[in-house]
Amino acid sequence: MKKLIIIILALVLITPFLIGLKVETEYRILIDNMNADPTYHIEITAFNKGWLTSDAKVKITPVLPFNEQEQSPFELQLIQNLQHGPLLWRTNGLGFGLVDSSISFEFPADIQQQLNKVNTSNKEPLSITSRTSFDLSSKIHLELLPFKIIDNQFEVEVKQGTSLLTVTPDGQLKGQSSWGGISLKDELNQQIAIEKSSTNIDMTLVTGEMFSPNAIFAGMMDLSIESMVASGNDPTEKLTFKNMKLNAQSDANLETVGFKFALSSQLIESAFQKFEDFNFNFQIENFDTKTSQAISELLTKVQAGTVDPMQSSVQFQDMLPALIAKNPIIKITQLGATTTSGKLNNQLQVQFDQQIYDANNPMTMITAINATASGYAPEVFFNELGMAANIEQLVSQQYLKRENDNLTYQFSFKNGQALLNNQPIPLGMF
Q: What helix, strand, coil percent values describe the chain, rounded to 5?
A: 20, 50, 25
> pLDDT tens, 123-156?
678 889 999 999 999 999 999 988 887 777 778 8
Q: Which residues of 341-356 are buried (b: 16+ CB within 10 A; e: fewer)?
A: beebebebebbbeeeb
Map residue 120 onto helix, strand or coil. coil
Contact 422, 410 (CB under 8 A): yes
What sign does the dihedral 402-408-413-416 (CA atoms) show?
positive
Q: In the 8-state DSSP scheme, what is residue 263? A: E
Angle at 320 between CA 318 and CA 324, to 5 degrees: 155
User: In this predicted model, what pLDDT tens digit does every residue of 327-374 receive, in sequence order?
Assistant: 899 999 999 999 999 999 999 999 988 888 877 777 788 888 899 999
- How far CA 324 is from CA of 95, 141, 256, 260, 287, in Å, comes to 52, 42, 12, 19, 8
Q: How confident is the model at residue 61 (pLDDT cuts 50, 70, 90)?
A: confident
Range 271-277 average pLDDT: 89
Nearest to 165 by CA among 140, 199, 193, 129: 140
Q: What whole-number percentage of the chain has pLDDT above 90?
A: 35
Whether a cis peptide bond, with omega within 30° of 0, leads into 125 is no
Contact in structure between 229 and 193 (CB atoms under 8 Å)? yes
Determine the pLDDT at residue 2.
54
- Per-residue confidence (pLDDT) for residue 187, from 0 to 100: 73
pLDDT, position 163: 95
Q: Say what the pLDDT of residue 119 is.
A: 52
Angle, in degrees to the nearest 10, between helices 309-325 and 289-304: 170
How far is it, in rounded angstroms, from Cα 20 to Cα 100?
A: 11
Task: Tell me which DSSP letter residue 405 carries.
Answer: T
**3 state DSSP class of 397:** coil
* Contact (Cβ atoms closer than 8 angstroms) between residue 88 and residue 123: no
How far apart CA 277 and CA 238 sit, in angstroms, is: 19
Res. 267: pLDDT tops 90: yes
Contacts of 109 (CB under 8 A, 6+ apart): none
Strand pairing category for 342-352 and 256-270: unpaired
The whole-angstrom separation of Cα 209 and Cα 215 is 5
Exposed e or buried b for every residue in 38-72, given b needs 16+ CB within 10 A? beeebeeeebebeeebbebebeeeebbeeeeeeee
